[in-house]
């Protein structure tokens, strides 16, 4: 029920901001109805796996995003210098499996997407306790293997405490 | 700060952001041409997806000011950040399953058996 209400509120907020019609009762009603329908369908789709989601995660994710944006900027600069100065900064591709410590499907998805979103590393395959990663350079792979991002996603997942 | 000073400052900021975004876009394209195989090229394309798009959208937001248009631009960035890793992941996974071998890739040391 909580999941339904949150999804409904988010969808209706999204609808309001996209439409910009805030004074027409008919349109508002139609927006409410379509948000409710979409939220209901979403609840049915996720019926089996909403228990892993916690409110704590919603509060912690923005902090994680701020850190992730910083990482994305750093990784971008690394790839940029490997593109323009290939002799000074050669590429050295690495492919390997790294452990992951998230418990929920959503947590694993966030970790794998964060890896792929950071230029220089791509998550190729996710299993229960490992993720297969291709990295542009040994240093990018080593950074990921150090496990900082993994720990932060598990922290944001909010199930340890 | 007065209005007369704020306008040019915003214009200058969006000019810098736009130039940076365009430079990163070109960098992504050059990387796709220069890098040796499918997987390394995927990394180069990632530059265009993330920082390049982000800087261009941020520049446009400065031009639009505090309005619904800026909110919609922010939505574009948000959905780009949600969808582009899914697309990259799907491509990489499909390539591995189709038997594409990464060129010159060393096996990374791992704590779980591969």
Tens of pLDDT along B2-57? Answer: 677 888 889 999 999 999 999 999 999 999 999 989 999 999 998 998 999 999 99
Closest CA to B62 of B22, B24, B5, B15: B15
Does some domain include residue B7?
Answer: yes
Task: Report chain B residues touching chain A, CB-CB < 8 A.
Answer: 24, 27, 30-31, 34-37, 39-40, 42-44, 46-47, 49-51, 68, 71-72, 75, 81-82, 84-86, 88-89, 92-93, 96, 102-114
Does some domain include residue B106?
Answer: no
Does some domain include residue B79?
Answer: yes
Inter-chain residue contact A122 with B86, CB threshold 8 Å? no
* Segments forming the whole domain that contains residue B9: 3-97
Tens of pLDDT along B80-101? Answer: 999 999 999 999 999 999 988 8
Q: Edge-to-edge strands of the sheet including A121-126?
A: A121-126, A130-135, A94-99, B106-107
Q: Where are the beta strands (DSSP E) in chain A?
A: 94-99, 121-126, 130-135
Does some domain include residue B104?
Answer: no
Q: What's the domain count of chain B? A: 1
What is the predicted pLDDT for the residue at B114?
39
Does some domain include residue B113?
Answer: no
Does some domain include residue B110?
Answer: no
Which residue ranges make up each domain of chain A?
2-49, 55-157
Does some domain include residue B107?
Answer: no
Q: What ipTM did this prediction achieve?
A: 0.83
Report H helices in chain B.
3-34, 38-47, 53-64, 68-97
Supply the pTM of this predicted model.
Answer: 0.85
């Amino acid at each position: 029920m909580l999941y339904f209400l949150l999804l409904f509120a988010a969808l209706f907020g999204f609808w309001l901001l996209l439409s910009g019609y805030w004074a027409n009762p008919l349109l508002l009603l139609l927006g409410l109805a379509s948000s409710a329908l979409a939220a209901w369908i979403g609840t049915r789709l996720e019926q089996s796996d909403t228990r892993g989601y916690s409110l704590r995660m919603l509060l912690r994710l923005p902090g994680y995003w701020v850190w992730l944006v910083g990482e994305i900027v750093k990784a971008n600069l690394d790839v940029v210098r490997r593109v323009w100065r290939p002799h000074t900064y050669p590429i050295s591709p690495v492919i390997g499996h790294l452990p992951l410590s998230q418990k929920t499907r959503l947590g694993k998805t966030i970790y794998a997407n964060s890896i792929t979103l950071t230029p220089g590393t791509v998550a190729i395959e996710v299993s229960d306790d490992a993720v297969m990663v291709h990295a542009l350079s040994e240093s990018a792979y080593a950074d990921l293997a150090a496990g900082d991002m993994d720990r932060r996603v598990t922290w944001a997942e909010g199930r340890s405490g | 700060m007065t209005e007369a000073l704020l306008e040019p400052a915003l214009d200058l900021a969006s000019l810098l952001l736009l130039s940076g975004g365009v430079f990163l876009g070109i960098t992504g394209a050059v990387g796709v041409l220069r890098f040796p195989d499918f997987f390394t090229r995927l990394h180069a394309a990632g530059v265009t997806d993330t920082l390049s798009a982000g800087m261009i959208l941020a520049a446009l937001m400065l031009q639009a000011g505090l309005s619904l248009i800026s909110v919609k631009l922010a939505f574009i960035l948000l959905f780009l950040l949600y969808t582009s890793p899914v697309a990259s992941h799907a491509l990489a996974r499909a390539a591995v399953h189709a038997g594409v071998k990464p060129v010159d890739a060393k096996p990374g040391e791992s704590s779980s058996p591969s």
